[in-house]
Structure 1
Amino acid sequence: MVQLSGITPSGHAQLGNYLGALRRWAADGGPDDLYFVSDLHAMTTAHNPARLRSLATEQLAVLVAAGVAPERLFVQSDLVRELGALTWVLECTCAYGEAARMIQFKEKSAARSTSVEGGGQAGVRLSLLTYPVLMAADILAVGADEVPVGEDQRQHVELARTLARRFNSTYGEVFVVPEATLPPAGARVRDLAEPTRKMSKSAENSAGVVFVLDEPDQIRRKVRRARTDGDSAPVYDPENRPGVSNLLDILAACAGGDPAQLADKYPSYGVLKDAVADAVIEELRPVRDGTLALLDDVGELERIRKAGAERATERSAHRVSAALRMVGAA
């Protein structure tokens, strides 16, 4: 059974990424599972090439430092030839209406079309429409059986299933038909400044975002400035007290314990915030130190990346070659 998961370097890795996914990948990943830095996915909007390259390298280092086995890792763009060819084959298998009805495309294209001068679709990149087909290529190329995704990505995995079945029935059996699975419940990590929204590496305002590479003093300042809810003592009530509940969730994820019971241990917000800051700093310390060491050791990081590219290519090349042969392109 092969699982495939990816993380997009749209910004610096943050606490929610680590507690919600990376730590779990390191602890629970099977010997055949694959994890990748999806740098091609970050190109659907305007981006700085040098920054994207730097973030992809940094993200790879974070994954290794977080404990994800290097032999399960690769960077998506290192398979650009295989993925480019397979994406075209799948685009020739996919109907326009199937891509255009993806909820994320509708929402994001609507938002971006109103943000450009004059409105309309002029500022919406074609890649936003075809991105789910590239995602299907990611999945089908490596023969993934399961793809753990949230509800916002489930529809994309369904498209991959549809395209795999259609290709197999039209041209011949090449692809595993993948299943979308819900990942195990991870820590609820909300923005410290705006606890009604998830912590995000691409947030415009980073005041409430704890990044994996933040210095301990930065982490402490951000936690101390975290929004609470005005009452006299900490209480775990995510619906009515999202700020303090977020702090308790983070503390429980880092130090263990039940967040509702942890609330009783801290008589004031100040004491709770100090405990949260201490727990987060210690949780992230080995990841931060390991990441910085890898970023300083360019040769080792390049070796890991090259080996990952070779293994991922071996896993995908025969399927891509078979698909091209089946459609008459090879």
Structure 2
Amino acid sequence: MNRIFSGMQPTRQLHLGNYLGALKNWVALQKDYECVFCVVDLHAITIDHTPDVLRENIREVTAAYIAAGIDPEKNILFNQSAVPGHAELNWILACHTPLGWLNRMTQFKEKAGKHRDNAVLGLYAYPVLMAADILLYKATHVPVGEDQKQHLELARDIAGAFNRYYGKEDFFPLPEPQIMGEATRIMSLRDGTKKMSKSDESEYSRINLTDDADTIALKFRKAKTDPEPLPETVEDLEKRPEANNLVTIYAALTDSTRQQVLAQHAGSQFSGFKSALVEVAVAKLAPISAEMNRLLADKGEIDRILKRGAERAGAIADQTVAEVKDIVGLLRV
């Protein structure tokens, strides 16, 4: 049985990069895999947050999953903190994770910056929680972005170390990464060298999944470009960050490659290409925005979906935790 596990943090609004880099791929994966999709709210509290905003963000991310095409009946969809097994397995795995492995994690160094002594333990150790999230469901495959590949490698290392320590060679599968398509890394609309981010101060740097058609069109028309027409080759395109980003977005939205986009638009000025991009983006994204807003109008229904998903996830998680406790030697009475 092949099982997918993946999740997103409920921190600020989801944007086009989240959709093209993850959600769009998840929708395709649900046809061929048993899928567990999680709103990873325990990860979200490793940084400063406002409780009321966090609660609303959990619902908004859930709405985005469903609006993008994730079926909560076919798949398991829940928020992480509703299943205690995540925290339980996290502690057990933390007791099998050398500090040297965590010291190699580059993302902590980037996020903590010059204030490492003031960073919370959760931020430092959250790759172990990520490993617990995946291994709790014995997931065989994990769709990840480039920035999470190192953490998935750690999850594989932790799983292998646990299996060897207790002589249970095949207990935890070693999850395989899935990095898919042209759009694993969508960049800012204001700076083609920076990743599109929820935390960027400029609203014009990103397309939020809640943006309506007019806002989507305005942001793309204001997107930074250069004065040259579109080139004929991907090699030339990659020398021009803003042009490369817009072509990558177009390719991802139309399920094509950058070379196919260039074959159609090479020589075009950006005014014309942006008009074509706006048409495609509005057709794809405006229905998602409308459906998200419809779902968010009934928060009780979102909460019911999450509760049912947590019950289904908990049934799997409880079994794994029970098996792990028996392997480790913890007494279950």
TM-score by length of 2: 0.88
Alignment CA distance shift 1:256-1:185 (3 Å): closer
Cα distance in 2, alignment partners of residues 112 and 295 from structure 1: 39
After superposing the two structures, state which structure 1 stretch, 314-323 or 69-78, moved more. Answer: 69-78
Q: What SS does the corresponding residue of 1:74 show, helix, strand or coil?
A: strand
Unaligned ranges ≥5, structure 1? 114-120
The partner residue of 1:184 within 158, 177, 180 is 180
Cα distance in 1, alignment partners of residues 129 and 246 from structure 2: 37
For the pair 1:241 / 2:240, whether they are aligned, the reply is yes
- Aligned equivalent of 1:274: 275
Tell me if structure 2 keeps the 8 A contact 1:143–1:316.
no
- Distance apart, 1:201 and its partner CA: 2.4
Deviations 1:137-164 (Å, cap 9, x if unpaired)? Answer: 1011111112232343233223222322
- Distance apart, 1:256 and its partner CA: 5.3
Alignment CA distance shift 1:248-1:99 (3 Å): closer
Tell me if structure 2 keeps the 8 A contact 1:235–1:245.
no
Cα distance in 1, alignment partners of residues 322 and 310 from structure 2: 17
Alignment CA distance shift 1:220-1:94 (3 Å): same
Deviations 1:211-254 (Å, cap 9, x if unpaired)? Answer: 111122211221111111122x3336432322233223322332
- Distance apart, 1:82 and its partner CA: 1.1
Q: What letter corresponds to residue 129 of structure 1 in structure 2?
A: Y
Q: What SS does the corresponding residue of 1:122 show, helix, strand or coil?
A: helix
Cα distance in 1, alignment partners of residues 196 and 62 from structure 2: 20
For the pair 1:123 / 2:128, whether they are aligned, the reply is no
- Aligned equivalent of 2:29: 28
Alignment CA distance shift 1:169-1:203 (3 Å): same
Q: What letter corresponds to residue 95 of structure 2 in structure 1?
A: C
Cα distance in 2, alignment partners of residues 183 and 193 from structure 1: 25
The partner residue of 2:85 within 82, 86, 100 is 82
Cα distance in 2, alignment partners of residues 269 and 284 from structure 1: 21
Tell me if structure 1 keeps the 8 A contact 2:182–2:248.
no
After superposing the two structures, state which structure 1 stretch, 309-318 or 66-75, moved more. Answer: 66-75
- Distance apart, 1:172 and its partner CA: 5.5
- Distance apart, 1:265 and its partner CA: 7.4
After superposing the two structures, state which structure 1 stretch, 253-262 or 29-38, moved more. Answer: 253-262
- Aligned equivalent of 1:52: 54
TM-score by length of 1: 0.89
- Aligned equivalent of 1:118: none
Cα distance in 2, alignment partners of residues 82 and 307 from structure 1: 16
Q: What letter corresponds to residue 136 of structure 1 in structure 2?
A: A
- Aligned equivalent of 1:318: 319
Aligned residue pairs, count: 319
Q: What SS does the corresponding residue of 2:180 show, helix, strand or coil?
A: coil
Tell me if structure 2 keeps the 8 A contact 1:147–1:178.
no
Tell me if structure 1 keeps the 8 A contact 2:152–2:177.
no
Deviations 1:15-65 (Å, cap 9, x if unpaired)? Answer: 121122211211222341222111211222212222222111101111011
Tell me if structure 1 keeps the 8 A contact 2:156–2:174.
yes
Tell me if structure 1 keeps the 8 A contact 2:22–2:143.
no
Cα distance in 2, alignment partners of residues 327 and 264 from structure 1: 61
- Distance apart, 1:12 and its partner CA: 0.9
- Distance apart, 1:316 and its partner CA: 1.1
Alignment CA distance shift 1:20-1:162 (3 Å): closer
The partner residue of 1:201 within 198, 206, 220 is 198
The partner residue of 1:137 within 132, 151, 155 is 132
Alignment CA distance shift 1:28-1:196 (3 Å): same
Cα distance in 2, alignment partners of residues 245 and 151 from structure 1: 18
Alpha-carbon RMSD across the aligned residues, in angstroms, is 2.1
Alignment CA distance shift 1:264-1:166 (3 Å): closer
Cα distance in 2, alignment partners of residues 9 and 246 from structure 1: 25
Cα distance in 2, alignment partners of residues 21 and 86 from structure 1: 25
Q: What SS does the corresponding residue of 1:36 show, helix, strand or coil?
A: strand
Tell me if structure 1 keeps the 8 A contact 2:10–2:41.
yes
- Aligned equivalent of 1:307: 308
Tell me if structure 2 keeps the 8 A contact 1:192–1:227.
yes
Q: What letter corresponds to residue 135 of structure 1 in structure 2?
A: M
For the pair 1:95 / 2:91, whether they are aligned, the reply is no
For the pair 1:213 / 2:237, whether they are aligned, the reply is no
- Distance apart, 1:269 and its partner CA: 2.3
Q: What SS does the corresponding residue of 1:197 show, helix, strand or coil?
A: coil
- Distance apart, 1:280 and its partner CA: 0.9
